[in-house]
Amino acid sequence: EKWERKHPLYKKNKVRTTKYTILSFLPKNLFEQFHRFANFYFVILIGLNFIPQLNVFGKEISMLPLIAVLSMQGLKDALEDFNRYKNDLGVNNTYIEVYQSSDDKYHKMKWSDLQVGDIVRVVCNSVIPADILLLHSSDPDGICFIETSNLDGESNLKQRMVVPKHWGDNHEFYPKEFKSIIECQTPNNEIYKFHGNMIPANGGEKISVNNSNLLLRGCVIRNTDYVEGIVLYAGHETKAMLNNNGPRYKRSKLERRMNTDVIYCVVLLLVMCLIGSVGNGIWASNMSNIEQAELFIPNEENGEALNPALSGFYMFWTMVILLQVLIPISLYVSMEIVKWGQVHMINSDIDLYHKETDTPIRCRALNITEDLGQIQYVFSDKTGTLTENKMIFRRCTIGGVDYPHAANGESPITFLILNCEQFCNFCCFFSGEYSKHREAFSGRNDSIRRSYRRTQSASLNLLGYVRVKSIGISLFESVCETDVTPDPVLYEKLISTPYSTFACNEASAAVPSLEKARIWDFFINLAICNTVVISNDSDDSVTASTTPDPYSVSTSIIPSLFLLSTILFWSNRHILPSTCPPFILLITLFPFQQISTPGAETYKPLFPNGNHAIPVNGNTNNSANIGAHFNEDGTGLTDEELSKIRYEAESPDEAALVYAAHAYGCVLAHRSSHGGKESVTITLPDGGGKLEFEVLHKLPFDSTRKRMSVIVRDPRNGQITLYCKGADSAILSALRRDQQDDVQFGKFRLLELLTKQYLDKYGRVGLRTLCISKRVLTEAEYSEWEQLHRAAERDLENRDQMMINSFVRMEDNLELLGATGIEDRLQDGVPETIEALRQAGIQVWVVTGDKRETATNIGRSCRLIHQNDEVIELITETPEALSELLDTTISSQDNKRGKLPEIQHQTSILSFNVSFSLPNSTSYPTIDDKDLPALGQSAPDTLVKEIADKFVLLARRCRSVLCCRATPLQKGMVLKLIKDKLHVMTLAIGDGANDVSMIQVADIGVGLSGQEGMQAVMSSDYALAQFRFLKKLLLVHGHWNYARLASMVLYFFYKNAAFVFLIFWFQILCGFSGGNMIEQSYLLIFNLIFTSVPPLVNGVLDKDIDAATLLKKPELYMQGIKDELYLQRTFWINMLDALYQSLIIFFFLYVIYLDTEVGLIEWGTVVTTAAVFVILIHLGIETKTWTWIHWVCQIGSVLVFFAYSLIYNIVCATCLPPSNPYFVMERVIQTGQFWFSILLVTAVALFPR
Amino acid sequence: ITEEKTQKHLPDNTAFKQQRLPAWAPILSAKSTLPIFFIVSIAFVPIGVVLLVTSEAVVEFQYDYTDCIINQSSMTQPCTCVINITLGTSMDGNVYAYYGLTNFFQNHRRYVKSRDDNQLFGVHVATTSVSTSCAPYNLFNDNGTIRPIAPCGAIANSMFNDTFTFSQGSAQVPIVRTGIAWPTDYSVKFNNPFPTNDLDQAFSQYAKPSNWQKPVQSLDRNLSTNNGYKNEAFIVWMRTAAFSHFRKPYGILNRVAGYTNGLPSGQYTLLVDYNFPVTAFGGRKRFILSTTSWMGGKNSFLGVAYIVFGGMCFIGGILLTMIHLHARNTREMSLISRLHH
């Protein structure tokens, strides 16, 4: 009876993300490591060394570097793997309830023992262990909510449906009776796609199942007591695991440059080997004429003298082995270590930590740290990246009347700031102080400053900036997101006429009440025309776990005056002036502390006296406010519930609108679906009761229509009404034009014009606009449309197209109600960051899907567009026109350039701005296809190419570019275009799924962990919490890492070359025999031990310029852009330096020790010591800042060298033939000659530095 | 508690992690570099003078006797030549005798390799397993029986085997041939095989190197303990020289009656047993007498280099100072002139 519990085809649910097992570690790891070029190189060298004729080193010791590298790498891999193993263990040993047919009960079982075909029960708030087909839910409607944040980071709840019942409608789901065959796709990684069939065992119709029935592993059950389902995919076959990609590997620009230099090194090596080989041949042929040459050229084993040519050939390979260090293999390992260290440093930067969301920066890509210092173009998304993506309902216009909502969104503290000059001064003073640097506090003896200093604790002094700032944000978020303070005029109008009065016949309504009817329709539209999910606050776990509690910051530790004033400073930027007197300060302090205790219970009215003078208490919690209001009216039966309602929306705009309706008392209270019938319930203000709308159709949002609608049956009169809201262009183009009556028509025109005017106004102040409209349908109209729509739904071939056409047909003849203006507030520090980036020589592009007006406004407010910038707008309908426009613009630019003779760089001198609109991406599918692809795609059009070229030509002259109306794909294309055409380093920053293509194309992708989920973060190289962190990330960390790595790479080239040159010079003295005066173990571990640590420390810690200066002078970033620190020239200068130093060391010591009794190895030891000193002190000179770590490492390296050589030279009398350095070091350091030579050589060699 | 909970990802605010470690950042400016020039010159010139004086105090006598006999062709056929030497100045203190070779590449890679340290360490190496690094000087075919060579290898085979007899009038100057090797080499690295008290027996299994006149156990006829691998001249030879132009200690003046203060000036006779062939490969050989100082032998380069470098620093420093002052003056001048206008 048990269905195939042990089927071999199906994987168990046990997951193993580790790469190795204990047994397979050694072979597998070694195999992987030998795939690397570096290790392979080592192996070849070792192999060469085993050929007797070439034998340079002792056989064992030649393996030392390889073994060291392999074991270090292996250790790192093993540690990483062990961590994964521990994670796996935790996951596999989680328990889940699994149905067992033996006793017809659910039993606890480990995740790892779960099998495909098992029926499991998952309770609320627990994680789903495998991909499960939902068979039963505790919810009577058969739905369940899941949170997919583990999978895609989207924290809003998603609804899943139980597979339609097929085991009989009348009784509950019993696992025992479940006998069906399920057909489904083979495991794949498409999270949003799934389809299959369920075939009941007792025959009967196939039931198709799809994505909406599937619960994915890793998601969490919410708002549903328990669900039951059958495991379809387990373990590694789940969609979550199949989507689990490893970290990204990118090669940095510096590394690419470096590789060319490595090739130079190879060439150099070959040249040196060739010289050695030829020299050897000549020398040997000279010698072969001499009888007695075998005195010091031993013959071959057969007693014959070696043929000079053959000897030369051998010599070549001998030299390869001998001079192997010239190829800086150690550099690769060192770079990996250094980058790891740099990443660690970036990760632990407290300035990049966002306290409110508790997110530090996360570096996901480990090997492009230095690219951060070379960015030339930044491509930024707008919404959610520059702005907070926290929508606030700011104002609306209904029936041609503007309701400014003057008090809205501005909490009293922000009222304050503009009027209190003293406070302002203080704030500015404080912020200026911070930027000057904390230490500057002690600098001057200003009495005011001292008094402030007294009020601040030491830790505050360091942390104040970040901490206080984030308190400010959290405060506003909480206020703005949900709190809308009704406009008193509008509110008055709304409640003055109860809704029911319009019940009968709209047409008969008089003009003034037409306005009121519009107002009612407007709010009903806001309340029901959406897809938000309603959740109750009583379900603590949802909100507590998904949204960080904004109030959890304890404010008590911060002196309140200080706190407030800082908040004032940081929040005053985008607030309109107002005239509130300063004494409100005291009032506002009160709610602060009230709120600062966390937990849902504290959402209580802060003004319990029921102050219904609405605007004043704008900063209290909205729901509390509403609750209080209702209480006073005495109706409040559901007040508690209503006030606790929370909305989970797919887009923040939607939520903002629903909350706005909520504020006016039109509360979206309940959604239900029974037997295919959906209905929405709203409650009306002033105890107006409930209203249940039957939803006939939902016309969901899509990016071509840019609007959504619902068709409902009005409960008042049974009229079928379409409520539609959408982008202004989308609505205005579908308005009703067929007015029979001139007066009527005039009125509608007027309304349209007025609304348009307000829309423009809203756009100008940077609000996102949406038009609200409705359409009353006759039964006939509706049924006619419905038939066509059904047909469209059934169409299999191009269903999508048909559906859209059908929607478009319905959304016509709309009656305009009004429009809303939603503010998307700029994130903190965005203007400053953009300004700094531009000063740093980085071109900032904003690529957004928004319309031009909104984008330009945001552009202005974030200082992307300066006041005196010349703005070039490229907005045309057709590609041809665009091409022409580009031509004329470019030629006019050329004329201007002619007048300015000295223009080398197009970046800074020409300062204008392009607002580039990709032509007509708003087009409906019916419109000619030719208009769609503005940039590339697959269009064979040469015109497209031409446009792209011209656009790039123009764009590179602009300081910044604003691209509007860009689809996600176009975002990526714009970036790719610039990257390919200009060969520049690009960075893309974005927060949403629509930025993913851009982020992936860019050299560096930065994801903001913001409102729109984690897709951007998942595909990014760096994950930030806020846009402003980009400033420090690029200007400071980018610069540092670039400078550090550049100098480290150069140093490694220098170091290896210097050392190898020494050996090369020796060939001249030893008859090009491949002889070697340096003791072989020194030669091999010179890189590994004696000179390895200080450059690594420098690579992680050195600071050529301190952080404060870098932030203050963004121009310093140019060094990286122009690649000034790592030029081809600098490479050769370093090589020349190495040449000079090696010549000095070698020939000075040669002359000093010539014609003495000095032994080969003895002299070699002197040379090595001198080289160690010179090379380490060289680094010391390069080091810009010395911390104690530098000192320890530098001195430590010298000590290690001496300790090693002294110990090694004393312990072993016969090891490592032939050099056998027994007691050499001990003897050498006793001679004065040694010390004085070292001193002289070091001084002379380094003097040019 | 809430604060801690909400900030579990807060990075540590330590000086190290925030890259705020106190640091010393040397800035290269005229003020900081100019003194370095002068300090270097002030330090180096006196050192150079001291080194030069020390080097000049060393008395050294060299005589190139390569051409005293023509047609020397083999190491195994002894010839002698007599050379008259006049020491112009007396050599006070310890006097060392050296032989110097030129154009002899003791640093050739294959030459350097051609030895067996284990054999020299006193380990009996079985006939068949003499280190192959000695090849082709590892085995000797003695009428069909193959015997290992002791000591094996090219280095040993090419050992310098001229002998010097240095005499003043009829009296031989006492030059002892011990005390020239490194004490550690003598006591640790080089050991005779068992039985050490009967070297003839110990080396009975071995053949002598082909170029040698005498087997290894009878290298020094005068001093029985100075034989076998523990022969100091042999040990000295086995420490291969760094360059092709080198000298190696031959012996030390025994400061007994008549030579307590060193070697007085005057007429001496040098009798050379001429064995070692160098003319074939264009080499030269010398007989050298030298006193030493704490800095080793005579070498004026180090002292001169110190003085020259110190001097250059001084001159460079002065030049830079002048440039610096000039630049400042012109800057001031331009400033003043601007003020006046």
Nearest CA in chain A to B309: A1244
Partners of residue A1074 in chain B, C-beta under 8 Å: 109
**The dihedral sign for the CA sequence A383, A387, A388, A392:** negative
CA distances from A1134 to A166, A1065, A1140, B341 (A): 78, 18, 10, 48
Contacts (Cβ under 8 Å, ≥6 apart) of A1237: A1148, A1149, A1152, A1153, A1166, A1170, B302
CB-CB contact of A210 with A102 (8 Å): no
Q: How confident is the model at residue A685 (pLDDT cuts 50, 70, 90)?
A: confident
Is A1171 found in the same domain as A1211? yes
Mean pLDDT is lowest, of A183-192, A984-993, B12-21, B191-200, for A183-192
| pLDDT on residue A502 | 52
Domain coordinates of chain B in residue numbers? 61-294
A706-725 burial, b at 16+ Cβ within 10 Å, e below that, comes to bbbbbbbbbeeeeebbbbbb
- What is the total count of domains within chain A? 5
Nearest CA in chain B to A1159: B241
Nearest-CB residue to A552 (from B6, B17, B26): B6
Q: How confident is the model at residue A456 (pLDDT cuts 50, 70, 90)?
A: very low
User: Is pLDDT above 70 for A460?
Assistant: no
CB contact under 8 A, B6 and A295: no
Nearest-Cα distance to chain B for A304, in Å, is 9
Is A64 found in the same domain as A151? no
Is A1014 found in the same domain as A927? yes
The 8-class DSSP code of residue A506 comes to: S
A995 labelled ligand-binding:
yes
A677, two tokens? 């019938």
CB contact under 8 A, B242 and A1159: yes
The 8-class DSSP code of residue B192 comes to: P
Half-sphere exposure of B235 (CA within 13 A, CB side): 26
From A1025, A1060, A1093, give the residue that closes a domain. A1025
Nearest-CB residue to A298 (from B114, B118, B306): B114
Is A740 found in the same domain as A799? yes
| pLDDT on residue A364 | 77
Is A637 found in the same domain as A770? yes
Which tens digit of pLDDT belongs to each residue from A245-290? 554 556 778 888 888 888 888 899 999 999 999 998 888 887 766 6
Say whether A381 is catalytic: yes
Instruction: Classify residue A1127 as exposed, middle or buried by CB count within 10 Å of its CB (0-12, 13-18, 19+).
Output: middle
Mean pLDDT of the region B32-43: 86
Nearest CA in chain B to A358: B7
Q: Quick one: residue A624, left, alpha or beta (phi over 0 = left, psi -120 to 50 = alpha)?
A: alpha
Which tens digit of pLDDT belongs to each residue from A385-421? 887 777 788 888 888 888 877 765 443 333 333 333 3
Is A567 found in the same domain as A428? yes
CB-CB contact of A826 with A573 (8 Å): yes
| pLDDT on residue A575 | 35
Is A771 found in the same domain as A885? no
Which tens digit of pLDDT belongs to each residue from B300-318? 899 999 999 999 999 988 9
SS3 of residue A991 by DSSP: coil
The DSSP secondary structure of A854-868, one letter per residue, reads HHHHHHHHTTSS-TT
A589, part of any domain: yes
| pLDDT on residue A857 | 72
Which tens digit of pLDDT belongs to each residue from A504-535? 444 444 445 777 788 888 888 888 888 787 77
**The dihedral sign for the CA sequence A298, A304, A305, A311:** negative
CA distances from A935 to A883, A995, A1007, A1048 (A): 12, 17, 24, 41
Is A484 found in the same domain as A339? no
Q: How confident is the model at residue A542 (pLDDT cuts 50, 70, 90)?
A: very low
User: Is pLDDT above 70 for A5?
Assistant: no
Q: Tally Cβ neighbours within 10 Å of residue A385.
A: 30
Nearest-CB residue to A358 (from B8, B108, B111): B8
A1090, two tokens? 């004696």
Torsion of CA B96, B97, B103, B105, to 10 degrees: -70
Q: Using a pLDDT cut of 70, give the percent of chain A over it.
A: 69
From A820, A838, A859, give the residue that closes a domain. A820
Is A886 found in the same domain as A750? no
Pairing of strands B262-263, B91-92: antiparallel
A253, part of any domain: no
Q: Taking all residues of chain A, what is their mean pLDDT, rounded to a whole number?
A: 72
| pLDDT on residue B77 | 62
What φ, ψ does residue B28 adopt, rounded to 5°? -85, 110
Which tens digit of pLDDT belongs to each residue from A826-869? 888 888 888 888 888 888 888 776 666 667 777 777 777 776 66
Is A130 found in the same domain as A69? no
| pLDDT on residue A1198 | 93
Closest CA to A837 of A1156, A441, A1166, A1120: A1120
SS3 of residue A393 by DSSP: strand
Nearest-CB residue to B296 (from A296, A1226, A1233): A1233
Q: Can you tell me the ipTM of this complex?
A: 0.92
CB-CB contact of A334 with A1092 (8 Å): yes
Q: Euclidean distance between the first and final Cα of chain A, in Å?
A: 85
Cα Rg of chain A (Å, integer) = 37
The 8-class DSSP code of residue B285 comes to: E
A688 labelled ligand-binding:
no
User: Is pLDDT above 60 for A448?
Assistant: no
Q: How confident is the model at residue A1058 (pLDDT cuts 50, 70, 90)?
A: very high
A265, part of any domain: no
Is A554 found in the same domain as A594? yes
Structural domain range at position A807? 392-398+410-609+631-820
User: Is pLDDT above 60 for B112?
Assistant: yes
Q: Name the residue with higher pLDDT: A778 or A933.
A: A778
A889 labelled ligand-binding:
no
Nearest-Cα distance to chain A for B284, in Å, is 13
Partners of residue B131 in chain A, C-beta under 8 Å: 1217
CB-CB contact of A890 with A958 (8 Å): no
Torsion of CA A487, A492, A495, A501, to 10 degrees: -120
Is A586 found in the same domain as A689? yes
Partners of residue A293 in chain B, C-beta under 8 Å: 280-281
Rounded Cα distance between A135 and A1244, Å, is 84
Q: Quick one: residue A1156, left, alpha or beta (phi over 0 = left, psi -120 to 50 = alpha)?
A: beta
Rounded Cα distance between A168 and A178, Å, is 11
CB contact under 8 A, B112 and A1218: yes
A1221, part of any domain: yes
Rounded Cα distance between A58 and A1217, Å, is 7
Nearest-Cα distance to chain B for A309, in Å, is 16
Q: Name the residue with higher pLDDT: B115 or A876.
A: B115
CB contact under 8 A, B302 and A1240: yes
From A1025, A1044, A1078, give the residue that closes a domain. A1025
Rounded Cα distance between A103 and A106, Å, is 9
Which tens digit of pLDDT belongs to each residue from A994-1048? 777 788 888 888 988 765 566 677 778 888 888 889 999 999 999 999 999 999 9
Packing angle of the helix pair A1093-1101, A1160-1182 (nearest 10 deg) = 10
Rounded Cα distance between A806 and A1068, Å, is 88
CB contact under 8 A, A1071 and B244: yes
What φ, ψ does residue B72 adopt, rounded to 5°? -80, 125
Rounded Cα distance between A383 and A767, Å, is 12
CB-CB contact of A1128 with A1023 (8 Å): no
Q: Would you call A1243 an interface residue with chain B, using a CB distance cutoff of 8 Å?
A: yes
A965 labelled ligand-binding:
yes
Which tens digit of pLDDT belongs to each residue from A716-742? 777 888 999 888 777 888 887 765 566
Q: What is the CATH number of the domain that holds A371?
A: 3.40.50.1000
Angle, alpha carbons A193-A198-A202 (nearest 5°): 180
CB-CB contact of A865 with A770 (8 Å): no
